[in-house]
Structure 1
Amino acid sequence: MGTTGRDTPLPMPKELCIIHANCQGDPLRALLMLHPQFGSRFEVVKYTNYLRETIPQGQLESCSLFLYQPLGDKWDDHASRALLERVNPRATCLPIPNLLFKGYWPFWTNRSSMDFGDFFLDHLVDMGLEMREILHVCLRTDLTAKFDLAAMFAESVAHERRKEEGCPVQTVDLVLEHCCTERLFNTINHPNRRLVLHVAQGMLAVLGFAPLPAVLESAFSDPYPEFELPIHPQVAAFHGFAFGGEGAQFNVFGTLRTYEEYVALYVHCRMHGIHDFAGFLHLVDPSVFSPANG
């Protein structure tokens, strides 16, 4: 007679791991779930912090591992302190890095009306200059006569060190070690595979797990390949980057563009009040739009 299966032990339910993070939490979740021991022990769910996704109270109360990018009190109910007050008191709660690097893009700002805001380009547009004048000032005049690039780099690094205080996995020294020879970020907060793997391996070690198997590590590819924010060639030359120099091309949502071509697109959108710059970059026909006819 066949067995009914009623005497077969049921699999033990997995423990719940919650990740509260920005887009960097997605590849981290994928790597943790692929880890043989971690993935067999935990069910991993991720909530996007900047979207203010609500974590159900039942999940907070039942989770045994809570990984979070620290958020200040201005985030109200989504602030880390507020969430930690609601989480299972027996859960292991660990902060994880929130990687951001302005070294490649010293003019980046989150105070622009534009996606991938650039305060230098915004200022030139607000001055009322024409496209050709903006391209000349941006590309042909000496940036170091206007900006202390070394100080801007140092200030950004110091800010990131302060952010990582208390995190069991540190990234700033690794960034400084490799940032000139290897492009570590595709945008200010889209790290490459080296950094994502470093965070995942570091968290696994802190939690007492073996490293990711080598086959998984080698198979893991760049988590954000679709967009490379172009780098100013003078910034690349000043810092001695092995990439991003004069004439370098960048993958801009499937189209290879130089920094000059990208700047022309940015300025065009800023001049015409097109705030969905990312959407514009997806749609614009490269054979139609160029710096010459923008």
Structure 2
Amino acid sequence: MTLSLMYTNCQRGLIFEFLKLSNEFMKEFKVELDKVPHNHTAIKEGIKISDNILKDAKLFIYQPLDDKYGELSTNSILSRLPSECICISLPRLYFKGYWPQHGANPYSKITGDIQSLFSYGDTNLNQMIEEGVPKEEIIQRINKLDFYNHEDLIDNLEYTLNEISKREEYTDVKISEFIRQNYKNYRLFHTINHPTDMVGREVANQILQILNMPKLSENVLPFHKEVLGGLQVPIYPSVREKLGLNFITPNEVYSLKGLGRKLTFSEYAELYIDQDQKYRKSELLFKSQPNEILDNLSDKKENQQAGVIYIITGTNLRYVHECIFSAASLKKYCPKLPIAVLSDKFLDFPKDYFDYIIPIQTELQPLQVKVEFMYKSPFDKTLFLDTDTQVLQPIDEMFNWLDEYDLCVANGPMWAKDKPQELLAYEGEGNYNTGVLLYRKSDKVELFFNTWLEKMLASSTLDKDYYNNPGVNDQFFFNQLIFQRFCEQHGIKRKIFTNTVYNVRSNMIQNLKNDGKIKDVKILHMHDLHKKKLKFDC
């Protein structure tokens, strides 16, 4: 077998599912999808495709990219392929004919667990929400069979087909005529850029024809039917009626990835409106009250108590899910302990677990933000937890330490430099870990946090790799202050608590089991605890 590479967008998964159903193709070619990234990923992350990979290719399937993308452009890559390599181009598969309402959704990046539902916006819903039209009236309007007129829908259809025709002027695979002939009787797209299996088979068959191989029959289906069908954007009733779409019914239901159930057109619209309203309120809160809620809470005497805080920046849902999981585990064992989460983007945290959901505003990098806001906790006695933690037993006793001490922290473990999972000792002396940090408010502790942040901001090595760069990692500067005897100089009483109980890292687990200490663990601190398959129960 000879090497075949596919340099396209996410549609390559669909096309390959059909190509691998061809015995002739699979005997001739070995397709290695992981050798080359999706083209949009390569562009976004600046991933260069190595000559060592390209030099062995005998078949190169691609979607053209303009010269403005430099080394990632079509011309650049084709020039580096061996002369005997067969190159087959196909257009980006796109069809707006079913969805004249398609547009941007300004809140698609911060919608939590159902983020992917509304990555495709609806201009009609956006406009009516903006105009203040009641939800019930919006639903009535968009369900009317005359919402769109026939002429506008035909104009939209012809426009999108003409766009596809332009894209395929210089490609080997042509798809516009196939769409024109079949769009009424068969669902050809799930979203504007997610084709159905029927389109995937057609593209695969054209590739097979170019290679002089037999076409696939219509009854040949991939193992996973509708490869890209996990998310479907509903089609307006007036579009169904005016375009004469025969493949859907008035009671059609649509798959929405991440929701776990299918929705009718009206149910989809209702959920879209509800989410839009929720995040408009969130955005207004950020615009009108950045950091104000936090300042007010910090000033109120009734809120001066013991509590736990989490700090999250950005819209990466991994940290959101970690945080919710950690807070849920904490509430299980310490139900009366108040929890606050400080976030600059995401506010949709479950109130069952969080007593305070506090919007913050900052221009700093994530680990700097952590230090910037830790002392601004609304509590007198604060336990800061990283999001990747899990509480396994009651931990209320930790706050009693603050009757005597100002700052409490644990050492991190000591491991082999070239083998991070090989534990050398439970405690690496002088290697304090700030993922579990306990402190009480006072002028001297505030000075400690301010100095900690100042050292980070003064660092000359601020770059993209701040998580792994000791020049900007928050723990580096924390340890630096400790080594410089800052606490002793300013009368800060410091306690070192045991990490085998209150800050257990992943490379300590097996040793704790072997030593019979695993039942003593109270706080786990490691990535992916929120994923069920990695949940750890002592």
Q: TM-score, normalised by structure 2?
A: 0.45
**Residues 172-228 of structure 1: per-residue CA shift (max 9 Å, x gap):** 11111111111111111222222111111110110122234x598255632223232
Structure 2 CA distance for aligned equivalents of residues 257 and 204 of structure 1: 37
1:123 corresponding residue in structure 2: 127
Structure 2 CA distance for aligned equivalents of residues 269 and 76 of structure 1: 40
Give the letter aligned to residue 238 of structure 2.
Q
Structure 2 CA distance for aligned equivalents of residues 146 and 27 of structure 1: 32
**Residues 38-67 of structure 1: per-residue CA shift (max 9 Å, x gap):** 212222123311222543321112212111
**Residues 216-256 of structure 1: per-residue CA shift (max 9 Å, x gap):** 82556322232322111111111011144433222223412
The counterpart of 1:258, out of the listed 254, 264, 270, is: 264
- Cα distance change on mapping 1:68 and 1:240 into 2, 3 Å: same
Contact 2:150 2:243 in 1 (8 A): no
Structure 1 CA distance for aligned equivalents of residues 150 and 215 of structure 2: 47
Q: How much does 1:171 deviate? A: 1.4
Structure 2 CA distance for aligned equivalents of residues 41 and 65 of structure 1: 10
2:182 corresponding residue in structure 1: 178
Structure 2 CA distance for aligned equivalents of residues 113 and 74 of structure 1: 30
2:208 corresponding residue in structure 1: 204
1:72 corresponding residue in structure 2: 66
Contact 2:14 2:197 in 1 (8 A): no
Q: How much does 1:120 deviate? A: 2.1
- Cα distance change on mapping 1:141 and 1:65 into 2, 3 Å: closer
Structure 2 CA distance for aligned equivalents of residues 159 and 218 of structure 1: 29
Measured on the aligned residues, the alpha-carbon RMSD in Å equals 2.9
Write out aligned runs for 1:54-73 (5 A).
54-73=48-67
Contact 1:184 1:192 in 2 (8 A): yes
Contact 1:28 1:200 in 2 (8 A): yes
- Cα distance change on mapping 1:61 and 1:111 into 2, 3 Å: farther
Write out aligned runs for 1:1-294 (5 A).
14-46=1-33, 47-52=37-42, 54-110=48-104, 112-114=106-108, 115-140=119-144, 142-144=146-148, 148-212=152-216, 214=217, 217-218=220-221, 221-253=225-257, 254-273=260-279
Contact 1:21 1:48 in 2 (8 A): yes
- Cα distance change on mapping 1:126 and 1:146 into 2, 3 Å: farther
Q: 126-135 or 188-197, which moves further after superposition?
A: 126-135
**Residues 68-110 of structure 1: per-residue CA shift (max 9 Å, x gap):** 0122244443332332233334322221232111111111125
Structure 2 CA distance for aligned equivalents of residues 268 and 75 of structure 1: 39
Contact 2:21 2:222 in 1 (8 A): no
Which secondary structure does the structure 2 equivalent of 1:94 belong to? strand
Give the letter aligned to residue 50 of structure 1.
H
Q: How much does 1:30 deviate? A: 3.1
- Cα distance change on mapping 1:195 and 1:40 into 2, 3 Å: same
- Unmatched segments (≥5 aa) in structure 2: 109-118, 284-314, 319-538
Q: 262-271 or 150-159, which moves further after superposition?
A: 262-271
Taking every aligned residue pair, what percent have the same amino acid on both sides? 26
- Unmatched segments (≥5 aa) in structure 1: 1-13, 280-294
- Cα distance change on mapping 1:147 and 1:180 into 2, 3 Å: closer
Which secondary structure does the structure 1 equivalent of 2:148 belong to? helix
Structure 1 CA distance for aligned equivalents of residues 73 and 79 of structure 2: 10
- Cα distance change on mapping 1:247 and 1:38 into 2, 3 Å: closer
Structure 2 CA distance for aligned equivalents of residues 74 and 272 of structure 1: 39
**Residues 233-288 of structure 1: per-residue CA shift (max 9 Å, x gap):** 11111101114443322222341211111011112222222899xx9xxxxxxxxx
| Higher RCO, 1 vs 2 (CA within 8 Å, ≥6 residues apart) | 1
Q: Which has the higher strand share?
A: 2
Structure 1 CA distance for aligned equivalents of residues 149 and 278 of structure 2: 29
| Count of residues in Structure 1 that have an aligned counterpart in Structure 2 | 264
Structure 1 CA distance for aligned equivalents of residues 70 and 92 of structure 2: 19
Which secondary structure does the structure 2 equivalent of 1:50 belong to? helix
Structure 1 CA distance for aligned equivalents of residues 144 and 226 of structure 2: 33
Contact 2:58 2:86 in 1 (8 A): yes
Give the letter aligned to residue 96 of structure 2.
K
Contact 1:236 1:243 in 2 (8 A): no
Structure 2 CA distance for aligned equivalents of residues 199 and 188 of structure 1: 17
Give the letter aligned to residue 69 of structure 1.
Q
- Which of these two proteins has the greater Rg computed from alpha carbons? 2
Structure 1 CA distance for aligned equivalents of residues 219 and 149 of structure 2: 47
Structure 2 CA distance for aligned equivalents of residues 124 and 31 of structure 1: 42
